[in-house]
Amino acid sequence: MGENIWEFVKDEDGTYSVFHRRKQLASKIPEAWFEAQLCHDYGFCGAEADEIRRKITECGKCTLVL
């Protein structure tokens, strides 16, 4: 089945894309919806969501290997 790799990317237009195991799950997620989608659709809530957003702010993307 492979590694459980998640990638969250802030695109040039300011929206977000989500990849799981190198397959794109979502794109063009607006800033206002990103945190809610992280939690409700992908299960990354609270401190996990904060860490994802921090890494995206620093690097433009966040990669998690679970």
Rounded Cα distance, 40 and 44, in Å: 8
Q: Is the pLDDT of residue 1 over 60?
A: no
Residue 34 burial (CB count, 10 A):
20
Residues 6+ apart with CB under 8 A from 43: none
Q: Is the pLDDT of residue 6 over 80?
A: yes
pLDDT at 3: 86
Q: Which two tokens stand for residue 43?
A: 């299960």
Q: Is the pLDDT of residue 65 over 80?
A: yes
Residue 12 burial (CB count, 10 A):
7
pLDDT at 44: 97
Model confidence over 20-58: pLDDT tens digits?
999 999 999 999 999 999 999 999 999 999 999 999 999
Q: Which residues pair with 26 in a beta bridge?
A: 18
